[in-house]
Chains A and B, each alone.
Chain A
């Protein structure tokens, strides 16, 4: 009976392997320098890349990060340092609730909050939706990482006469920052893979644009549009875009895994 559980684990791995296999094998054909630097061409014309989409995704997670990271880290600090009270528990609960809200609902909120007043789809609205999505992940990891810092470090700082705020910033945060950075990274990766909220906030753009007040292209929306389309050429490009997206997310995680590991070695 217990050996059946091994079968269950194998069954779970099968789709993972299949997805990676197909993404890599189908995506690699169009993966070249041109893909990263050329603009999308009209259908039927060969070539064409996704330069604007790649830059668009980076801009969107940049805007999202500039909102999500400060809010997330500061709230995480509050929860771990000052938040052992009832309000802290309420905020913790709301963070869990926020993390379960579907991304498309967050997109609708960003639409009503940003697109409607601006009377305009924009990268800014998309960035805000992504930022909201990042917040719970960053709060949770920041709180966990700060909690891991031993109490003795804080007490040592306070015993030396350093005020609490300086202890928190210079001692506690300095110790925990690698873990917090991983949490930020996790949030950014999650945001990079989001499609639904962008459909009606950042919309999409066939042209090169870095203006955050205008609609902007993104890898995820392009994958969606190209996959749905009846054109074989576009379907191929969708696989390549998927490959680039997975590579982007993997690079982000790998980068910080390397950084964190080296710190432990010197310790």
Chain B
């Protein structure tokens, strides 16, 4: 690498952007949006949840293979089928140990408790909801208590029948197909009292609820995350392929390659300029949202990983697209395809495909960094982001050397 060549190439890139009014305008709009958001909803305030909503609920059961969980699985209504996931709860959890759930999710934990004094089994049903969004769990809970009633009602009838009583007559089925949460919860409780009065027994159910640490989706931080990601994608996945392809289309890339500049020097200048520009813009936006984020190493690691990954994606597009128009189109198509794939995978509970996309890991790590709620799994996301970034950069360098400048 020769400094005079790198300097000339970097100067060229900077000057090209300085004369690109459209790009400057969009960058200005991003900063303005960030400033407006920061003025209306300072990050320090915790009342920043603009909209609620729990898109997924985990039914986390210790007795995963038991009849109760099987009944719940079978009785999922179609409208909730894509939103409720059943998972086995670790058996060695401490009684009060919290489980972390991703932002925008809640959970219904079914834990086993010590048997009651009469030897009857006891369960703890623990509702975990995002902080400040208790009502978001209502639809899931309503279904849960309704089906819990149906299951234990049948158990009670079977128990009474076994004692020679007419269980079905003694315990008629009330109207439980209503969506009133408190009604459903109440009649489930009343069932136990009725069964007890008839001399039967049902497992004891203790009901608890807690806000889940970290699962509240701070929408201001979510929008800030989106702006930071957009800044990096805009510079590295949109602007870079577009301007690089324009240079190729107009023969400017050839003119540079015919000068003493080596292909790797041209590549290096682009690899230096665009992530730097993107990181600068992203840092500005993140700093406006929450200046303290700039002191967190996790934020910088996340930013660098995403910038490098975006650069790899952008340069791959620039190498494959022939013209400026096709590069812009390819960048937009790429973003749309990835968004569609992630949504489809989320809706259909396909777990492994999203792990292959930087766009899956990046929002999680950036949001965690911006809200300073960094959990163990965010480090896994960061590692995933970094590995994918490296893969993309190598792919981009190979493609560019192979056919990019020609």
A and B part of one assembly: no
Q: Which residues of B pack against A, CB within 8 Å?
A: none
Q: Which residues of A pack against B, CB within 8 Å?
A: none
